[in-house]
Structure 1
Amino acid sequence: MPLNSPQQITDLTIHAGIRKASLPLGAILVLGFLAGAFIALGFLLDIHVSTLIPPAWASLGNLLGAAVFPLGLILTILAGGELLTGNMMSLPMAMYAGRVSALAVARNWLLVTIANLLGALFVAYFFGHFLGLTEGAFMAKSLAIAQAKVNADFAHGFVSGIGCNWLVCLAVWLSYASKDVAGKVLGMWFPVMAFVAIGFQHVVANMFIVPAMIFADALTWAQFVPNFISVFLGNAVGGAVFVGLAYYLSYSKALEAETQSVATTTSTTTV
């Protein structure tokens, strides 16, 4: 399985951030909608798999649900999508490298947040509520998950958000490590499964499950907003600092030195 080195992944991530910052509005909105829907579909699959497991095996059900949740990120990375949590790593890394502005990062995050929300709301309403896939036999499980998220206070939501996006961005980072599809899927699978099994909070996933319960008249928008803010900020720190900044500081200088060394060698050889 051919692999990219951490230095190469750093370069790939920076260039990904540059590309994302320059995407036209239409592409951001369409790809953001798709990514929000993909994450929601992964969550919907999680709920169905875990609910169908007998209550006596609830722990196994939770593990199996977490094991299928990565579908959302796999679709986003391989099929194409703009996901807020991944962009919380790639765009800051491009900003640290001086290749994009803070304003460009803020613009992308704002537009992708709106687009992800629309995609997640689409799945929550039409699949979750209209088709009843988060209600009826699945209502108890869906409501328990949503209540656990909105009942967390600001500090707990924030810290849980850090843990979540630390793992999610590591999943994206590992997808850049591999040069083939199987390696990318495997690299993404375990970090995402881990954050779901642990119970960390993902802002885009919450855009699906909490509104699904709002559409079922079990929760309110007033409960969603504080949770959204705390998890958004935690996810931003997890992606931009614990992965983006950490690896930029660790590998960007080595990458620059390696590039300069190659350039010097090429120049000497030419002379």
Structure 2
Amino acid sequence: MSINTPQQIADITIEAGVKKSHLPTLSVMVLGFLAGAFIALGFLLDIHVSTMIPTPWASLGNLLGAAVFPIGLILVILAGGELLTGNMMSLPTAMFAKRITLGAVARNWLLVTFANLLGALFVAWFFGHVLGLTEGVFLKKTLAIATAKVNADFSQAFISGIGCNWLVCLAVWLSYASKDVAGKILAMWFPIMAFVAIGFQHVVANMFIIPAAIFADALSWTQFIENFAAVFLGNAVGGAIFVGLAYYVSYSNVLQSSLSNVSVTAAASSETQKM
């Protein structure tokens, strides 16, 4: 078959979580930096595309901006990267399967959060502020997006974070369904485009857009931290519960049966070799 079944995807997700938990710290930091930068570059492209559309067609501009944003996750999945929001699904799923510990999940999330922040801040400062790609003619759009995000209260940001990572992790989940590059890109494109067009909050994307506004002297770091806490928790629930746990519970019996069959086959093979 050219695609993996949902049961196979669940198994792939668990194995991905296990592999991620065993990555050396240096690898996690480098790949995390890249992932944060990739998401920021996708957001930067969104701002530029939507700003080019005349004001009377602003809704079309927002849609076109959302349509180009997925380049960030495409780079993360195909080029390689450690993205916090995706890891909020894969590592908990591996933990639910008792393949890794809660401590392994916490270690990965902590390192990846810091690395993603560094990558996003790099793009916000050097490309956004120093080159002026989020300021000047683009400043109005930058401030409109960033201000809307920090003006949401805790419950609004939390719920928005759930919706966001439900879609983002479904995009990652669907990417595991395809066995070719074109299929992976198509599978990821529409869920990511949907969360951006709707306006849901993504913790790593916010690591770029809110600091970009801060570097333009429009917002404060206190506002960033308050937003970060709410969106982080919402994204964690969206990824770990609405995708990871939901599918693990749905397919856990199938997965356990598959693992048992593998163990029996291995044992039989071992006995055969002894004869």
TM-score of Structure 1 vs Structure 2, range by shorter chain: over 0.9
**2:126 counterpart of 1:126:** yes
SS of residue in 1 equivalent to 2:252: helix
- Please say which of residues 170-179 and 253-262 is displaced more in the overlay: 253-262
Superposition map of 1:187-226 within 5 A: 187-226=187-226
1:48-63 aligned within 5 A = 48-63=48-63
Aligned to 1:45: 45
Aligned residues: 270
1:245 maps to 245
Q: Deviation of residue 253 (structure 1)?
A: 1.1
In 2 relative to 1, CA 24–262 (structure 1 residues): closer, same or farther, beyond 3 Å?
closer
Residue type at the aligned position of 2:140: A
Paired residue for 2:9?
Answer: 9
Pairwise CA RMSD: 1.6
C-alpha separation in 2, matches of 1:29 and 1:254: 35
What is the alpha-carbon distance in structure 2 between the residues aligned to residue 9 and residue 78 of structure 1? 17
The amino acid across from 1:139 in the alignment is: L
**What's the counterpart of residue 20 of structure 2?**
20
Aligned to 1:97: 97
Give the aligned residue type for 2:21.
A
Q: Using the alignment, how far apart are the partners of 1:147 and 1:46 within structure 2?
A: 16
Q: Which amino acid aligns with 2:141?
A: K
What is the deviation of 1:262?
6.8
- Where 1:178 maps in the other structure, the secondary structure is coil
SS in 1 for 2:152: coil
1:38-92 deviations in Å (ceiling 9; x for gaps): 0000000000000000111111100000000000000000000000000000000
Counterpart secondary structure, 1:73: helix
**Unpaired stretches in structure 1, ≥5 consecutive residues:** none
Partner-residue secondary structure (3-state), 1:81: coil
Counterparts of 1:25-174 in structure 2, within 5 Å, are 25-174=25-174
Return the offset for 1:265: 8.1
Which residues of 2 match residues 170-185 of structure 1 at below 5 A? 170-185=170-185
Query: What is the letter of the counterpart of residue 9 of structure 1?
Result: I
Counterpart code for 1:254: V
Q: Distance in 2 between matches of 1:37 and 1:137?
A: 22
Taking structure 1 as reference, are residues 215 and 256 closer, same or farther at Cα in structure 2, changes over 3 Å only? same
Distance change in 2, residues 1:34/1:265 (3 Å)? closer
Counterparts of 1:114 and 1:256, CA distance in 2? 35
Aligned-residue sequence identity (percent) comes to 76
Question: Which has the higher mean CA deviation after the structures are superposed, 115-124 or 254-263?
Answer: 254-263
Give CA-to-partner distance per residue, 1:221-249, whole Å, 9 cap, x none. 01100000000000000000000000000
Alignment TM-score, normalising by the size of structure 1: 0.96
Deviation at 1:142, TM superposition (A): 0.5
Cα distance in 1 for partners of 2:161, 2:11 equals 26
User: Unpaired segments of 5 or more residues in structure 2?
Assistant: none
Corresponding residue SS for 1:177: coil
Q: What's the offset of the Cα at 1:12?
A: 0.5
The alignment's TM-score, normalised by the length of structure 2, stands at 0.95
Whole-Å Cα distance in 2 between the matches of residues 117 and 198 of structure 1? 24
Residue 74 of structure 2 aligns to a residue whose secondary structure is helix
**Partner Cα distance (1:194, 1:228) in 2:** 21
Shift of residue 18 of structure 1?
0.4
